[in-house]
Amino acid sequence: MIATVRPARRLDGAIRVPGDKSISHRALILGSIASGRSHLRGLSPGADVQSTSRCVEELGAQFNGSVLDGCGMNGLRRAGGPLDCGNSGTTMRLLAGLLAAQDFESELVGDESLSRRPMDRVVSPLSEMGARASWPPLRVGGQTPLHGFSHTMAKPSAQVKSAILIAALFADGATSVVEPVRTRDHTELMLRAMGAAVEVEGVRVQLTPASRLEPLDLDIPGDLSAAAFWLVAAGLMPGSRVRLEGVGVNPTRTAFIDLLLGCGFQIKFSNSRFAGGEPVADLDVTSAVALRALQVSGDQAAEMIDELPVLAVVATQIAGRTVISGAAELRVKESNRIEAMEEGLTAMGADITAVEDGWVINGPRYLEGAKVSAHGDHRVAMALAVAGLIADGRTEIDGAECVEISYPDFFDHLEYLC
């Protein structure tokens, strides 16, 4: 599908972004081994989370919209064939942790993009725990029990941390994981809510194996990584006023908001509350007053990795040179996001150069509508749509149907807000 985005004068209105993708995956995976019925309201409607729900159903959990009947910690059964994780790295890596600890072998497969993504990062620590694990293709499980261990992660990754913690639930001793920088902690919060013993001290997480997990009763917050597109679009368009209701503002996810605030964006939090153990707020965003310079480097990039494609759009509007570095990980996401955003924004008239671990962007530049490609990557499609809103003329995004992965209503929301 080609999506056409026309320049808009301003954005106005209130929306609810889809349920948080990271929390939705975890709720389905951990709920599948809970003892009893979980109630999961507001799950992400995206294709990635549907991949996870199909997989846990194949493993024996019963799922019906928002009700999930878990099998208990010893109740999963071998799937009838390879488990299809679709486009979803989180599904594949977190399930690898769960299935590595089972006494049957599982094979995890995915689409063309997922088949190219690195899985040694989960295979290697799971093997260290005594699991049978190999890749490619990704096969795990069949050798138990796993052993608790102390692991220091070389690279920040919430997916890898989570895979280890989920496997560690089934181990014969405690496990500790030390991260180079604190990544999203939804797994830790959810496990604790389910009764598991998880202790966090700075960048160190320690987990004691569990024999039982209580079911969940969750209202899943809106996805801040989906809200990010509207924070940027409204901020860059004079006269805009957008309210984003019920967005998750877990401090391990808000580095991007702090960065935007620091460079002149106007974002107000209200109605702050907790939902399902996670902090949530309504966000009101109005146009930025004057954009100040921003730089991203080192560990900072890991704290806002999913927001960096749309941050590149912001940088095209800032006077001077913006350097975004420390983000080599973007090369192994659903697409090579460094190359994909360089290509799309260059076609639109930006001065952007891809480097090994990010971009150098000189601004401000007027953007012009162009024909661009989403490269099968939902976040690239949405970031280029935001660029299209502030450009002159028409932008045509080829392959825009991939927004289905995390935000099926994205273009409807865009139309409503314009």
- How far is Cα 225 from Cα 306, in angstroms, rounded to an integer? 7
User: Segment near ligand S3P (CB under 6 A), from 53-61, 98-106, 155-163, 250-258?
Assistant: 155-163
In the list 51, 52, 87, 159, the residue contacting ligand S3P (rule: CB under 6 A) is 159
Handedness of CA 124, 125, 130, 135 (dihedral sign): negative
Q: Give the residue with the Cβ less far from ligand S3P, 250 or 373.
A: 250
Angle 308-315/255-262 helices, nearest 10 degrees? Answer: 10
158 binds ligand S3P (CB under 6 A): yes
Report the nearest approach of ligand S3P to the CB of residue 233 (Å): 20
Among 84, 223, 306, 409, the one annotated catalytic:
306
Pairing outcome for strands 37-41 and 106-109: unpaired
In the list 3, 5, 11, 22, the residue contacting ligand S3P (rule: CB under 6 A) is 22
Report the nearest approach of ligand S3P to the CB of residue 126 (Å): 15
In the list 305, 310, 354, 383, the residue contacting ligand S3P (rule: CB under 6 A) is 305
What H or E segment, with its residue span, contains residue 319? none
> 124: which strand partners?
none
User: Segment near ligand S3P (CB under 6 A), from 3-11, 50-58, 156-164, 353-361?
Assistant: 156-164
Report the nearest approach of ligand S3P to the CB of residue 160 (Å): 6
Q: Give the residue with the Cβ less far from ligand S3P, 243 or 331.
A: 331
90 binds ligand S3P (CB under 6 A): yes
Q: Give the residue with the Cβ less far from ligand S3P, 181 or 418.
A: 181
Residue 313 amino acid letter: V
157 binds ligand S3P (CB under 6 A): yes
- How far is Cα 342 from Cα 159, in angstroms, rounded to an integer? 26
Q: Give the residue with the Cβ less far from ligand S3P, 50 or 157.
A: 157
| Residue that has been written with the tokens 């139309």 in this structure | 415
Phi/psi for 69 (5° steps) reads -95, 110
Q: Is residue 306 annotated as a catalytic residue, yes or no?
A: yes
CA angle 126, 129, 132 (to 5 degrees): 60
Report the nearest approach of ligand S3P to the CB of residue 302 (Å): 7
Q: Give the residue with the Cβ less far from ligand S3P, 341 or 389.
A: 341
306 binds ligand S3P (CB under 6 A): yes
Residue of 242, 241, 249, 243 lying closest to 225 (CA atoms): 249
User: Segment near ligand S3P (CB under 6 A), from 153-161, 240-248, 314-322, 383-391?
Assistant: 153-161
- How far is Cα 92 from Cα 114, in angstroms, rounded to an integer? 9
Angle 224-236/255-262 helices, nearest 10 degrees? Answer: 10
- How far is Cα 410 from Cα 226, in angstroms, rounded to an integer? 9
Contact positions vs ligand S3P (CB under 6 A) = 22, 90, 157-159, 162, 184, 305-306
Catalytic positions, written as ranges: 306
